[in-house]
Amino acid sequence: MTQESARDRNSRAVAARIIERWLRTDLFPDRLIAPGTEDRAFVVEVVYGVVKRLRTLQWVVDRFAERSPEVNVLAPLLVGLYQVLLMDTVQDYAAVNETVEAVRSAGLSHAAGFVNGVLRRTLRERESILCELNRQNIAVAESHPDFLVKRWISCFGEERTAALCKWNNGRARATVAFNPLKTDGVSFATSLQDGGVAAEPHAHAPERFLTLPAGTRIPPLPGFAAGHFSVQDPSTFVAVRLLDPQPGDIVLDACASPGGKTVLIAEQMQDTGTVIAMDLYRDRLGILEQNITRMDLCSVKPREGNAASEEDVRNACPDDLFDRILLDVPCSNTGVLRRRPDARWRVNEEKLGQLTKIQRMLLESVSIFLKPGGTMVYSTCSLEREENEKQIDGWLARNDGFEITASAALFPPDSRTDGVYAAALKRLK
């Protein structure tokens, strides 16, 4: 057996290589996990677990190492530490032995003793390590950057911030929304039950959304290929409710991909009228097109373009202005860190400033294409006031032809959903 094939058969080695690439490149972890990865569920669990708990695991490394090891050694060490400290579904001996073997098979035999020693010492002292970890500040104990924790404590208080960080470190379960054009809630739930899937109504939107059991594979589910449901978090419904699209409307979904809200809009319009679904990136638009095709929606018209460019919006615009516009802007993603754990390490003051500038540009660009009396909904999956309330207050102060008619925000530990903000803006003239 070649060294490469031996490495490929060790799921810890696969996870360690992905973590090493992530640490070196800061690429999105989900794009580093190949679709055909063997033992994919385990690899995804370990990779996302290490990304989420990076700061906590680094704290453990710092306890046992005089200096942090090189990245090619640190990556498998983090993989092993996550298993023995924070993953209760693996056997200790397998976690240690196979992680050490992954180090050797990567040509790092000189580091195998170090990794083995740290992992075995961690096992021996596991209870005391976990107790001491619980005494650390929120940022270390719950593995978040100081930047976010300080902001959140100032905004939400320490207790709610701790709850938010714990929520972010939990496992996200898939939720689905049935398509009312093709089925109803009772029939859909019954079809899942008949297929052996015990789905539960989601507490935030039980009339439309169901939570699937952990580990459920989506494509084999009854009705998937026929477009009976879409996979999305109940928080997506907040902006669509405020938008309140009606049959026959002409609607712009300005930053549409991957298309979850686009689907909900078209369904609410009974697939009549027109939904212009614009996105800047061709590859992301391809994902939206796949979703629209599967859901069999005829009213949606995908368009490639930059919503911050008036020219691009004008080219996508029909002869008349839009009755309604959904502006789901690029943001810091601090409301979806449970599903996008790497985003917590990307946020800083500079990035936040860049994002708020882009958001202002988008507001200025698309708002001129809204009919008088029409509704524009601005939405984010952020918890940061600069991107939410302050952004809208500032924009309204500069645009007296609009007024805010409603707004909503979801705080994840309370709603058990992703965190979102949405504001409905009416054009007066």
The predicted structure's pLDDT at residue 244: 98
Q: Does domain 3-136 have CATH number 1.10.940.10?
A: yes
Q: Is 298 a catalytic residue?
A: no
Which tens digits make up the pLDDT trace of 353-373? 999 999 999 999 999 999 999
CATH superfamily of 236-427: Vaccinia Virus protein VP39 (3.40.50.150)
Q: What is the pLDDT of residue 428?
A: 95
In the 3-class helix/strand/coil scheme, how is the chain assigned residue by residue? CCHHHHHHHCHHHHHHHHHHHHHHHCCCHHHHCCCCCCCHHHHHHHHHHHHHCHHHHHHHHHHHCCCCCCHHHHHHHHHHHHHHHHCCCCCHHHHHHHHHHHHHHCCCHHHHHHHHHHHHHHHHCHHHHHHHHHCCCHHHHCCCCHHHHHHHHHHHCHHHHHHHHHHHCCCCCCEEEECCCCCCHHHHHHHHHHCCCCCEECCCCCCCEEECCCCCCCCCCCCCCCCCEEECCCCHHHHHHHHCCCCCCEEEECCCCCCHHHHHHHHHCCCCCEEEEEECCHHHHHHHHHHHHHHCCCCEEEEECCCCCHHHHHHHCCCCCEEEEEEECCCCCCCCCCCCHHHHHCCCHHHHHHHHHHHHHHHHHHHCCEEEEEEEEEEECCCCCCCCHHHHHHHHHHCCCEEEEEEEEECHHHHCCCCEEEEEEEECC
Q: What's the average pLDDT block by block, 10 residues per block, for the chain (429 residues)? A: 45 93 92 84 93 97 88 95 87 88 90 93 94 96 97 97 97 94 94 93 94 91 95 96 97 94 97 95 88 96 94 84 96 96 95 97 96 97 98 96 97 97 95
Q: What is the CATH architecture assignment of 175-231? A: 2-Layer Sandwich (3.30)
Q: What is the model's pLDDT at position 241?
A: 97
pLDDT in the model for residue 1? 34
List the chain domain ranges: 3-136, 143-170, 175-231, 236-427
User: pTM surpassing 0.85?
Assistant: yes
